[in-house]
Amino acid sequence: MSFSKFPLWETGGFSYLRRLMNSKEEIAKVPAGKNEAGSKQIVMSGIRPTGFLHLGNYFGAIRNYVRMQEDFECYFMVADLHSLTTHPDTKELKSNVHRVLAENIACGLDPDKAAFYCQSHIYETSELYLYLNMLAYIGELEKTVTFKDKVRQHPENINAGLLTYPVLQTADIILHRAKFVPVGKDQEQHLEMARNFANRFNHRYGEVFPEPVAFNYNQELVKVPSLDGSGKMSKSENQLATLFLADEDDMIRKKVMKAKTDGGPTEANSVKPDYIENIFGLMKLVSTEDVLQKFDADYNNCTIRYGDMKKQLGEDMVNFIAPIRNRVNSILQDEKYLKDVMEKGAEKARVSAQKTMKLVREAMGLTY
């Protein structure tokens, strides 16, 4: 990413150069839950309530939330404000927010361990977003890949919120002075921007924020591909090639059986085409090591039967998704519980947000 029109210190460019020289720093490797001073390190992430959650949300984000809540100070939110950039109609927002809450909890997120809240309940976010907007340049925002995608997909609704989406995301993260951000691979560029905005604030007003980094336990960030081999699983696009946590068993089997394959390899140990690699990738997520090794060996000696492989994958997916789906359905029955979760989460998040905003206003000299 190049911001050559802007001075280095303004763009956070010094830290960018540092990272180029040591690019392994880009994605944090298994950090200790506590820092050198012995206090818990801070983690923040969020998911938009724009539809049913899918396997990509689980393996890109939620799986890490569940592990990190044990050792870190965690803030996880339902990003309802972000959803308004593409879904201005709020008729279904309440049920979508409830669904995201229930789906996270069904996957193992524990509201007693992490602060689990709704973005719009924390007004401090909007204040920090405003200040950060003065530090974000139109040129860099217009170059964001996700912005360009949205412009292509929805030319009738290119609003300013869409343009400043990464600024709001930065506000969410640094509002808690978070260091680690468990996200999928699609968020890499946004995290780069978050580091730039945080650094730019620090350079102009004084050190307030740590540099946030995208996080996946000891690995590269995850991209769960769609079943037809084109792009990634997504809440709103390509729904027949996306496995949702709410899909019924037969639907899961049907979608998996439709995954793209071919006549099979004709030469031993040949390289797998992307769409076959994707099926092996999905198998790696939900099947046992034995199963994976068997089909890998079959592929390498050209005896693989993709029909059998997809049948096995379909069953392993059903075994993975069905218990989550059943838990979601029972959690959704209890609206009072979900309201309590949001209120308790917002109380915790507000304490941290208010502490940060005091530092921000002092650093900016807004304390007359």
Does position 124 interact with ligand AMP (CB under 6 A)? The reply is: no
- Taking the complex as a whole, how short is the minimal distance between the CB of residue 310 and ligand AMP, in angstroms? 19
CA distances from 188 to 12, 136, 193 (A): 16, 18, 9
Does position 101 interact with ligand AMP (CB under 6 A)? The reply is: no
Which one among 114, 135, 173, 233 touches ligand AMP, defined by CB under 6 A?
233
With tokens 């939620």, the residue in question is 62
- The residues in 185-204 that bind ligand AMP, with binding defined as CB under 6 A, are 186-187
**Phi–psi pair at 181, nearest 5 degrees:** -130, 100
Beta bridge partners of 180: 43, 213
**Phi–psi pair at 171, nearest 5 degrees:** -60, -45
Of residues 5, 40, 148, 150, which has the active-site annotation?
A: 150
Is 336 catalytic? The answer is: no
CB 256 within 8 A of CB 310: yes
Query: 223 vs 350, which CB is nearer to ligand AMP?
Result: 223
CB 82 within 8 A of CB 165: yes
**Rounded Cα–Cα distance for residues 300 and 295 (Å):** 9
DSSP 59: I
Does position 166 interact with ligand AMP (CB under 6 A)? The reply is: no
**Rounded Cα–Cα distance for residues 305 and 126 (Å):** 54
Does position 61 interact with ligand AMP (CB under 6 A)? The reply is: yes
Does position 57 interact with ligand AMP (CB under 6 A)? The reply is: yes
Which one among 48, 63, 177, 179 touches ligand AMP, defined by CB under 6 A?
48
Does position 238 interact with ligand AMP (CB under 6 A)? The reply is: no
- Taking the complex as a whole, how short is the minimal distance between the CB of residue 59 and ligand AMP, in angstroms? 6
Question: Site residues (CB under 6 A) for ligand AMP?
Answer: 47-48, 56-57, 60-61, 183-184, 186-187, 222-224, 232-233, 235
